[in-house]
Amino acid sequence: MTQRKPRSLRVQNMHIPAYLVLVVWSVIALFPIWVMVANSFKTRFTIYENPFGPPEKFNIKNYTDVLASGDFMNYFKNSIFVVVLSIALVLLLGSLAAYALARWRSRLSGGLYLFLIAGMMLPIKIASIRLLELVKALGLLNTLWSLIPVYTAMGIPIAVFVLTEFVRQIPAELTEAGFMDGAGRFHIFLRIVLPLLRPALATVAIYNLVPFWNDLWFPLIFISDERSKTLLLGVTRLFGQYQTDWSKVLAVLTLSAIPVIALYLLMSKQFIKGLTAGAVKG
């Protein structure tokens, strides 16, 4: 008789293909980041000798030149301002809308919910011309304030979709206890509902951070003033008509990735909680 393998060993062997897939996927995902960071430490001409290999000598001049440039630091501040304010508005308006829609049970609320999440299926870029006319009519052209309403509108559908499901899972007894203690709806929202939404809020924030931070389309349409340009729009200054300093371009892109990575590391636990909680709902 053949001796059977222990159950724990058989389970580990079953996981080997999954681990191999994860390793391959990690290499594919990290390879572009490696190319970007490695080439940002090369000189303008050595980048063409071995674009996929490590730098023979770390050249930090690209970073010092970028950081010494007042324009790029201004672009960085502009991007931080726009993205932080837009995400804050998305979280505020999305959580308020989700709280109202989750507690308001009627056909009208269901129709309004479907209307809001329909924005997830319609790309906002198809309305670029109308948005440009609206921004111009409001006098916001060539200002950072022109981007904030657009980004807020982009983020609200996914915020309502995620947050409404979380609010519906909050036991009604908690809010009813608040009503019995004499608390108003807004007080209950701030004291009871909002703290329980932290994992979902982190999920919405990270989900919207990447498209807001990496957006080039709307800044390119709305802004031509150097003082109001965002970081990625400012990078286009490095693209010449006949040649491009790719080492400085990649240095700027590496610096621009730091806020996204930092926010994810700070909110990763809440983000994972939000994803796993959303996976088992319903």
pLDDT-wise least confident of 1-10, 116-125, 176-185: 1-10
Q: Report the C-alpha dihedral over residues 66, 67, 71, 72, rounded to 10 degrees.
A: 70
231-275 residue pLDDT tens: 888 887 777 655 677 888 888 888 888 888 887 777 766 666 655
Convert 48-62 to b/e letters by CB count within 10 Å (16 or more is b).
Answer: eeeeeeebeeebeeb
Q: Can you tell me the distance from the alpha carbon of 253 to that of 264, in angstroms, rounded to the nearest whole number?
A: 17
**Domain-wise residue ranges, the chain:** 1-59, 69-279
> What is residue 148's predicted lDDT score, i.e. its pLDDT?
94
Proportion of the chain above pLDDT 70, given as a percent: 86
Arithmetic mean of pLDDT, 215-223: 91
Q: Per-residue pLDDT for 180 more than 80? A: no
**Is 224's pLDDT higher than 80?**
yes
**The CATH number, out of the four listed (2.60.40.1230, 3.30.413.10, 1.10.3720.10, 3.30.230.10), of the domain defined by the range 69-279:** 1.10.3720.10
Instruction: Tell me: pLDDT of 279 over 50.
Output: no
Question: Tens of pLDDT along 40-98?
Answer: 888 878 888 888 888 888 878 888 888 777 688 888 899 999 999 999 999 999 999 88
pLDDT of residue 281: 46
- pTM for the whole structure: 0.80
